[in-house]
A and B are shown apart, each in its own frame.
Chain A
Amino acid sequence: MKDYVRLTGVAASEGIAIGPAFAYVPGDLKPERENISEDVVGEELESFRNAVKAVVRKLSETADGLRESGGEGEAGIFDAHVEMAEDPELHSGVEERVRDLQSPEAAVISVGEEFAEMFAATEDEYLSARAEDVRDVAYQIAAEIMGGEDAGIEMLDKPSVVLARNLAPSDTVNIPKGMALGFVIAEGSRTSHVSIMARSMGLPAVVGVGRALEEALAAEVVALDGAEGYAVVDPDPATISSFEEKQKNIAAEAALLKEYKHGQVRTREGRRIEVVANIGSAQEAEGALERGAEGVGLFRTEFLFMERPELPTEEEQYEAYRKVVKSFGEKPVIIRTLDVGGDKDLPGVDQPEEENPFLGWRGIRMSLDTPELFKPQLRAILRAATHGNLKIMFPMVVDADELRAAKKVLEECRRELENEGSRFNEVEIGVMVETPAAAICAADIAPEVSFFSIGTNDLIQYTLAADRGNERLRRLQSADHPAVLSLIGRTCEAAREAGIWVGVCGEAAGEPAMVPKLIELGVTELSMSAPAIPRVKKIISGL
């Protein structure tokens, strides 16, 4: 087998590309002269101003061209570059240096660099990414002053995978149409321009692969997977065919998505099944909508609480919930209150060392004991409910008493908000059925809630006494076991009696073999990770 190099980076834009490699290595732009003599200062100032005008004209033409072809988002990038090129502080900085006898090309590069460093130092992802814009603009002005030729990306004449240290927007638009199959870039992040442009052009991209790119510059062929975030240099035939296979699958998925993205699905008997998404952060909302989610069946809130020095404020939580609810409009979004146990650290909460965190102080147990944790979350949820169709559900409930205790705290929060005159909205309340106890007590709980959501992953682990993470117990990690199915059936039965609906938000909801069984038992909502949605919609329509 042939050795090949694998480059790992940030998954910046989905898709598979296989093709000849085109290494784009622009020569470092060096000022022709560092200094000038006093008698040409006036002339050099003039040449700087003319260069700015020429660059502004080019940038505006590019923006207009993009706008005409419907690329409003990309056009905005060039509008911002025009403003940078015309910036009065950039001009005064350059002019001052030229009066001090620095050459205009050296002056504009160093003033641009100063601004770039200011941006990079802000520790703000968006602004740091703007450092490359300022550099791009400054270099274009410097190149214009020196009258140099472009470095040659417009010479690309056969469809290729473009490898480069970085690509400025001015580079990306210079690539002849159809000649880029994908991008492998050493620098950058998901918010870099090359990433944004790649996504809007629908081309796969892996960015931030670092110095490893140098080993790939002499490559003949490159294969890249933009969803996984890696590229393979000079792949062997087996790797090529596995990439081709992935490409085919993606095309098939895309066709499926097109067919089932919009609209609701029914079984042949006419039973309406809602297909919704599990999400773990506000950023995942968009991807879920794109894949045809009819709402969110499980919005995990743990991300807000993890890896940080202190607990999130009510305001911070409100913002995060509001964002998600708003992006789903009228569609339902079910927020699950915090479900953390001793297996994960929570800032500011004194968690005991536990031998069995999955059987420990977690979920609703912890929330009820820690009002300073629970109440800000409930208040944030009630307030965010004014922006859409929000529901709440409690994790790890084992009986109706726990539910009542949680509802009491919710009622307290509601009263507080009312007294403070804050805007809030009523929310429907549900319980996660993920302990055998909740399933067994379902008939007691059902009359007091609006829905059940069965968390099959935990329900399996607790029912079959089989650790989810134990590889040797694979056989006991499926919902297709008589004990688990019986508890699901029991839950559905109790729900029917009480006139409420039942959803499933564990992995079983997205498993093709389980979907018909769950529906048969009476489940009417299936919540899964977004990529599974189109496939499940197809299965349901065929039942």
Chain B
Amino acid sequence: MPEREATIGPEEGLHARPAAQFVKEAKRFASEVVVIKGGREANAKSPLKVMALGAKQGDRVTIRAEGEDAEEAVDSLTDLISAKQ
């Protein structure tokens, strides 16, 4: 199962607008995608779960996906999450 680590880039952390953009991007993929922080897993397509992780700028998270477009999903989401803006 492809997975990659990333460091949260946006100043607000994975909240508000960055969380919304992240979830929107995750929904483009057919694969099941999870974000893992400190052993807690969240469905990447659920804004509620993603925000409840409370990931802040500089936190390390892992993105893992399972499905036909898993590789692409992991790459695209780690890039998005680590971008500053």
Q: Mark A83-111, 1 if CB is under 8 A from B, else 0.
A: 11001111000000000000000000000
Identify the stretch in B2-10, B41-49, B61-69, B70-78 within 8 Å (CB) of chain A at 4 or more residues.
B41-49
Verify B15–A127 contact, CB threshold 8 A. Answer: yes
Is B23 in the interface zone, CB < 8 Å from A?
yes
Report B-chain residues with C-beta under 8 Å of the C-beta of A126.
Answer: 12, 15-16
Verify B54–A87 contact, CB threshold 8 A. Answer: no
Report A-chain residues with C-beta under 8 Å of the C-beta of B15.
Answer: 124, 126-127
Q: What are 16 sample pairs from A and B whose C-beta atoms fall under 8 A apart?
A: A80-B16, A80-B47, A84-B47, A87-B46, A88-B43, A88-B45, A89-B46, A89-B48, A90-B46, A115-B52, A118-B52, A126-B16, A127-B52, A127-B54, A130-B51, A134-B48
Verify B20–A80 contact, CB threshold 8 A. Answer: yes
Bound-state CA distance A124–B13 (Å) is: 11
Verify B12–A87 contact, CB threshold 8 A. Answer: no
Bound-state CA distance A127–B51 (Å) is: 8
A83's nearest neighbour on chain B, judged by CB, is B47
How near does chain A come to B50, taking the closest CB pair, in angstroms? 9
Verify A88–B12 contact, CB threshold 8 A. Answer: no
Verify A83–B52 contact, CB threshold 8 A. Answer: no
Report B-chain residues with C-beta under 8 Å of the C-beta of A22.
Answer: none
Report A-chain residues with C-beta under 8 Å of the C-beta of B46.
Answer: 87-90
How near does chain A come to B18, taking the closest CB pair, in angstroms? 12
Report A-chain residues with C-beta under 8 Å of the C-beta of B48.
Answer: 84, 87, 89-90, 115, 134
How near does chain B come to A487, taking the closest CB pair, in angstroms? 44
Report A-chain residues with C-beta under 8 Å of the C-beta of B12.
Answer: 126
Bound-state CA distance A87–B48 (Å) is: 7
Bound-state CA distance A79–B13 (Å) is: 19
| B→A interface (CB under 8 Å) | 12-13, 15-16, 20, 23, 43, 45-49, 51-52, 54, 56
Please report the total number of A residues contacting B with Cβ < 8 Å.
18
User: Which residues of chain A in 109-136 are interfacial with respect to chain B, using CB atoms and an 8 Å cutoff?
Assistant: 115, 118-119, 122-124, 126-127, 130, 134
Report B-chain residues with C-beta under 8 Å of the C-beta of A84.
Answer: 47-48
Bound-state CA distance A80–B18 (Å) is: 12
Report B-chain residues with C-beta under 8 Å of the C-beta of A89.
Answer: 43, 46, 48-49
Our pick among B13, B16, B47 for the contact of A87 (Cβ within 8 Å) is B47
Verify B52–A119 contact, CB threshold 8 A. Answer: yes
Bound-state CA distance A84–B49 (Å) is: 10
* Minimum-distance CB pairs A-B, first 3: A89-B46, A122-B54, A118-B52
Bound-state CA distance A163–B49 (Å) is: 33
User: Which residues of chain A in 51-101 are interfacial with respect to chain B, using CB atoms and an 8 Å cutoff?
Assistant: 79-80, 83-84, 87-90
Report A-chain residues with C-beta under 8 Å of the C-beta of B13.
Answer: 124
Bound-state CA distance A118–B58 (Å) is: 21
How near does chain B come to A32, taking the closest CB pair, in angstroms? 25
Verify B43–A83 contact, CB threshold 8 A. Answer: no
Bound-state CA distance A134–B48 (Å) is: 8
B23's nearest neighbour on chain A, judged by CB, is A83
Report A-chain residues with C-beta under 8 Å of the C-beta of B52.
Answer: 115, 118-119, 122, 127
Bound-state CA distance A79–B12 (Å) is: 18
B24's nearest neighbour on chain A, judged by CB, is A83
Bound-state CA distance A79–B16 (Å) is: 11
Report A-chain residues with C-beta under 8 Å of the C-beta of B45.
Answer: 88
B54's nearest neighbour on chain A, judged by CB, is A122
Verify A83–B20 contact, CB threshold 8 A. Answer: yes
A315's nearest neighbour on chain B, judged by CB, is B58
Verify A124–B20 contact, CB threshold 8 A. Answer: no
Bound-state CA distance A89–B43 (Å) is: 8
How near does chain A come to B27, taking the closest CB pair, in angstroms? 9
Report A-chain residues with C-beta under 8 Å of the C-beta of B47.
Answer: 80, 83-84, 87
Verify A119–B51 contact, CB threshold 8 A. Answer: yes
If A118-B52, A122-B54, A124-B15 are given as contacts, then 14 extra A-B residue pairs at C-beta distance below 8 Å, sorted by A number, are: A80-B16, A80-B47, A83-B47, A88-B46, A89-B43, A89-B48, A90-B46, A115-B48, A115-B52, A122-B52, A124-B54, A126-B12, A127-B51, A130-B51
Q: Mark A349-365, 1 if CB is under 8 A from B, else 0.
A: 00000000000000000
A128's nearest neighbour on chain B, judged by CB, is B54
A80's nearest neighbour on chain B, judged by CB, is B20
Report B-chain residues with C-beta under 8 Å of the C-beta of A87.
Answer: 46-49
Bound-state CA distance A127–B47 (Å) is: 12
Bound-state CA distance A84–B50 (Å) is: 11
Report B-chain residues with C-beta under 8 Å of the C-beta of A80.
Answer: 16, 20, 47
Bound-state CA distance A63–B53 (Å) is: 27
